[in-house]
Amino acid sequence: MIEQATNESLSANFVTAKKSRPSGFTVWFTGLPAAGKSTLAQLLRDRLDDIYDGYVEILDGDEIRKGLSKDLGLSKEDREEHARRVSYVAKVLSRNGVVAIVALISPYRKSREFAKELIGADRFVEVFVKASLETCRRRDPKGLYAKAEKGEITNLTGLQEPYEEPLNPDVVLDTERFGPNECVEQLVSYLLKKGLLSRAYTV
């Protein structure tokens, strides 16, 4: 878990900062289905919109599959291609002064390393949304685990397909131990300490 020694003072200043425009970076949430990626992405956007009004965009894996990746399936090759496309969109957004919040299972380390290299390490934050398989199965908001257990789907990440946990993520958010708002607070504190939010912080 990230260090929280100065969370309170940093966050207090963050909340009271005036609206500004970010320098552009990408926050990449990865984790098992139902780990909490989409929930945290939405909460983070709500939080950053307080400052970066209009310069924050969520790239949700399921939504992008309806458009940009509509032609792709769930094979390993297609999943990698899906992540590659999302990486390029995130790069363009970040380069143009937008905070790109990616919520994508992105099960392979190779894909996430590609994204980091493409976007640039100084603009990329890998966030591992941590939750055990049992917890994710119990949550199951989309019914995916239930379908897998019935044999209706055969390629669910973490259950039937591999998920490669990050070896050195920038941030680990344990959604079993902490609630969504606590997790976002931890992430915001990290972004402040890393300097990615320093512009707004100093306004």
Burial 183-196 (b: 16+ CB within 10 A, else e): bbbbbbbbbbbeeb
Asked if 197 contacts 53 with a C-beta cutoff of 8 angstroms, the reply is: no
Centroid of chain to Cα 106: 10
- Pairwise CA distance, residues 93 & 99, whole Å: 7
- Secondary structure element (H or E) that encloses residue 49, with its range: helix 37-49
Q: Terminus-to-terminus CA distance in the chain, angstroms?
A: 29
Assess whether 106 carries a catalytic annotation: yes
Q: Between β-strands 56-60 and 99-103, what pairing exists: parallel, antiparallel or unpaired?
A: parallel
- Out of 94, 106, 111, 189, which one is annotated catalytic? 106
Would you call 28 helix, strand, or coil by DSSP? strand
The residue whose two tokens read 């970010």 is 22
Burial class (CB in 10 A: 0-12, 13-18, 19+), 141: exposed
- Pairwise CA distance, residues 107 & 116, whole Å: 15
List residues with catalytic annotation. 106
